[in-house]
Every structure is written in C-alpha cells, then in structure tokens.
Amino acid sequence: MAPWVLPVLLLLGGLALAVMDIFFPSGGILAFLAVCAILGALVQAFVEGTTIGLTLLAITLFGVPAVLIAALKWWPKTAMGRKFLLHVPSSEEVLPENNPRRMLEGLVGRVGRAKSKMLPSGIITIDKRSYDAVSEGMPIEAGQRVRVIEVRGNRLIVESIGDEPPSETDEDPLARPVDWDTDEPGLGVGD
C-alpha cells in the first residue's frame, strides 16, 4: 500500500464527519471525531515522510474551509436546513395590506399643486384632496405645480415640474368662476 493512502483516507473521513456535523447536529460528537480524524491524518502523513506531511497539511488548510463553506451554502436547500432557517420575507410581504397605502400608490405620476411652502415637507392638493408630501431636492413654493414620483410610508415624494403644460387632471382653482349663489349664510350676495 502506498504511504499516502492511509492519511488521505483519514482526511476524507474527517471531512465527511465535519459535513455530517453540519447536517446532523450531534452536540459536538461528530465535530470532535472530525478533528481527531484530521489530526490523525496529519500525524500519519508526517510519520510517512515530510513531503507527504507538508502536502497533506497544505491540502487540509485549504480543503477543510472550502468543504465546510460549500456544505454551509448547500445546507439551507436541504429539508433540515429549511426547518432551521426561516424564510426572509420580501418588502412587499412585510407592508400591511391597507387601502390608504394602495390609494397613495395610485397617485404616483399624478400632478398637483403645493398648498404650502415645502421645506422639504408640506401639503399638496390633487383633485381637491390634501396630502402630506416631501419634496425631493429644492424647496417648493406654495401654488407651484408638483408631480408625485414615489410613496414612502404614508407620505408622497414629489418634485417640482415648473413650466410643463397642465394635464387634463390638473385643475387650476384660480381659473374657476366664483359661485356666489350659496346656501351658507353670510357668503351669498345681499346677505
């Protein structure tokens, strides 16, 4: 029998025991046996010769971590690994299912007006409804046109759109005629 066979078999047995310890927790018994087998392989290799010993030592120093890393990468895909490790939810799975959030997400891309000066937060109006908003970048003056670009939490992220032509959904409240006929006391003509 060649002088390197017994140390190599001990090393392979030690690696197999180390991998088994990852997949089948044994309270450290398999890990202890793995370390003993690997140390036995090194001792036996140096008994056979310095060249065989140094070669097996180099293989051990690089092989053991590589095998353990590969086993740990493969472990979550096994049945036991799936039981031990929890599934990490995506950000969509974590967000609550609620109508206000869905309604705010429906405003992305819409155009409105700043109701107050935004330094960077303030109030905007879209379709006669007011929303909390935060400007992205520069301050926005009251009355300036803004576009919703994102939703973060319960706030809209907006950007100033300046001199773009108005869209059909953007209604200028100052261009509407004043309705003087009202049922509220004190607001009609002649009250």
Blockwise average pLDDT, block size 10, the chain, 191 residues = 84 88 82 90 90 88 87 78 74 67 84 89 89 86 90 86 57 59 52 48
CATH number at residue 140: 2.40.50.140
Q: Say if residues 97 and 70 touch (Cβ distance below 8 Å).
A: no
181 in any annotated domain: no
Between strands 155-160 and 129-135, the pairing is: parallel
Backbone φ/ψ region at 36: left (φ over 0), alpha (ψ -120 to 50), beta: alpha
- Which one-letter DSSP state was computed for residue 90? P
Question: Is 105 in the same domain as 66?
Answer: no
**Domain of 44?**
5-84
- Which one-letter DSSP state was computed for residue 118? B
User: Tokens at residue 14, please?
Assistant: 């030690």
Can you give the pLDDT at residue 175?
61
Can you give the pLDDT at residue 158?
92
pTM of this structure = 0.42
184 in any annotated domain: no
Question: Is 43 in the same domain as 72?
Answer: yes
Between strands 121-126 and 129-135, the pairing is: antiparallel
The burial class, CB within 10 Å (0-12 / 13-18 / 19+), for 48 is middle
